[in-house]
């Protein structure tokens, strides 16, 4: 992606035609818009056209305009996108879906700087910078004669290839952070964070829909989350099933499982011989509870989760304390040595309110 950003900077200030290629959902239009916004034409018009969304019998009129009476339904003259964009930049998305007849006219517009409205014999001069994008293999289409070879070389002056998200999974946390901040800014889902476990799941998925799929999933999960943090249970089941190694009920071995396993085979804390504290702690008659069961808890948490083990342990300790005091938050806060407000925050954060 750093190479992509450098290319944007290099081509933006020029007038060169740029072809952006990559799978659907990788952000090709964002690249085109970044080139425009940093170009000498940034204050001029910018028009994006999705060639795949316009029927073949209408795209010529859409791009080049038509004269009144030129075909059935043409009751008035229409100015096309190229004329409207004179002096600016036009972005043709999914150009690989364009019919051969229209490709010929695009080539003329690029080479001669002029277009012809449908039903007119006059030419109109236009000064337009063209950016194009496709998710199709244009080289193969040229061989199959489904895409004009001369247009291909005219478009492919500079190519920017966008990698799929599965090839840059290290970008997922950065993208998620950006998306959550944007959601909070737009007040669409409130301020949200995401748990380390949920982020681990997202970083293991292959993302066939690329960044667009990630964006939709984050928005959905932020809306469905019952607390300020997106947890594993807030992620779609189909994603959890696809990842396979982690599901909504357990990410590897949960802290609860680890504590339960230790309970089943360890002595009670009170009967363990442990080192005694020195200094103020010794004066207060306190011992240091770092006996074998605690060492085992740490070891298993470390092996199961790798990072953020304090969060896993804290959640289980708060959960068990609430269970021991029958859900009385004032008593639990006193035992845990925290304020009731902090306890309420933790209850929401770890989804312990049920």
Q: What pLDDT is stored for residue 354 in this prediction?
A: 60
Cα–Cα dist 313/297, whole Å: 9
Question: Model confidence at 268, in pLDDT bands (50, 70, 90)?
Answer: very low
Q: Would you call 225 exposed, middle or buried from its count of C-beta atoms within 10 A (0-12, 13-18, 19+)?
A: buried
Query: How much of the chain exceeds pLDDT 90, in percent?
Result: 44
Where in the chain is CATH 1.10.8.60?
A: 169-249
Q: What pLDDT is stored for residue 43 in this prediction?
A: 95
Cα–Cα dist 230/221, whole Å: 7
Q: What pLDDT is stored for residue 225 in this prediction?
A: 86
* Secondary structure (DSSP) of 253-289: S-HHHHHHHHHHHS--GGGS--PBP-THHHHTT-B--
Closest CA to 273 of 258, 293, 257, 254: 293
Q: Rounded to two decimals, what is the model's pTM?
A: 0.66
b/e code 82-101 from CB counts within 10 Å (16+ = b): bbebbebbbbbbbbbbbeee
Higher pLDDT, 299 or 196: 196
pLDDT digits over 74-115, tens only?
Answer: 778 888 899 999 999 999 999 999 999 899 999 999 999 888
Cα–Cα dist 76/235, whole Å: 51
Q: What pLDDT is stored for residue 188 in this prediction?
A: 62
Strand-pair category, 158-161 with 18-21: parallel
pLDDT digits over 54-69, tens only?
Answer: 988 888 888 998 888 7
Q: What pLDDT is stored for residue 146 in this prediction?
A: 93
What average pLDDT does the chain have? 83
* Class level of CATH domain 169-249: mainly alpha
Q: Does domain 2-163 have CATH number 3.40.50.300?
A: yes
Mean predicted confidence (pLDDT) in 262-289: 42
> Quick check: 144 pLDDT over 90?
yes
Q: What pLDDT is stored for residue 282 in this prediction?
A: 42
pLDDT digits over 28-59, tens only?
Answer: 999 999 999 999 999 999 999 999 999 888 88
> Quick check: 352 pLDDT over 90?
no
> Quick check: 270 pLDDT over 60?
no
Mean predicted confidence (pLDDT) in 156-168: 94
Where in the chain is CATH 3.40.50.300?
A: 2-163
Closest CA to 64 of 20, 135, 112, 15: 112
Q: What pLDDT is stored for residue 285 in this prediction?
A: 40
> Quick check: 120 pLDDT over 90?
no
Question: Model confidence at 306, in pLDDT bands (50, 70, 90)?
Answer: low
């Amino acid at each position: 992606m750093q190479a992509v950003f450098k290319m944007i900077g290099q081509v933006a200030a020029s007038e060169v035609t740029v072809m952006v290629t990559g799978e659907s959902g990788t952000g090709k239009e964002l690249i085109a818009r970044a080139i425009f916004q940093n170009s000498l034409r940034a204050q001029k018009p910018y028009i994006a056209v999705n060639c795949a969304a316009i029927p073949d019998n209408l795209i010529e009129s859409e791009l080049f305009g038509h004269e009144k009476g030129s075909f059935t339904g043409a009751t008035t003259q229409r100015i096309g996108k190229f004329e409207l964009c004179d002096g600016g930049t036009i972005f043709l998305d999914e150009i690989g879906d364009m019919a051969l007849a229209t490709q010929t006219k695009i080539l003329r517009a690029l080479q001669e700087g002029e277009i012809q409205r449908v039903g007119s014999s006059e030419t109109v001069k236009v000064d337009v910078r063209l950016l194009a994008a496709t998710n199709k293999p244009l080289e193969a289409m040229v061989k199959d004669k489904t895409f004009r070879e001369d247009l291909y070389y005219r478009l492919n002056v500079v190519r920017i290839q966008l990698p799929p998200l599965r090839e840059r999974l290290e970008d997922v946390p950065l993208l998620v952070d950006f998306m959550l901040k944007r959601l909070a800014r737009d007040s669409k889902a409130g301020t949200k964070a995401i748990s380390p476990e949920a982020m681990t799941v997202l970083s293991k998925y292959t993302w066939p829909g690329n960044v667009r799929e990630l964006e939709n999933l984050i928005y959905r999960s932020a809306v469905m989350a019952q607390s300020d943090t997106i947890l594993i249970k807030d992620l779609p089941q189909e994603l959890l099933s696809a990842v396979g190694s982690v599901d909504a009920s357990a990410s590897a071995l949960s802290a609860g499982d680890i504590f339960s396993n230790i309970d089943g085979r360890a002595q009670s804390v009170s009967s363990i011989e442990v080192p005694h504290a020195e200094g103020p702690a010794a004066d207060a008659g306190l011992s240091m509870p770092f006996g074998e069961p605690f060492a085992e808890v740490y070891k298993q948490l470390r092996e199961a989760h790798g990072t953020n083990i304090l969060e896993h342990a804290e959640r289980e300790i708060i959960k068990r304390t609430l269970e021991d005091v029958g859900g009385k938050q004032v008593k639990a806060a006193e035992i845990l040595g925290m304020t009731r407000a902090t306890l309420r925050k933790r209850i929401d954060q770890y989804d312990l309110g049920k």
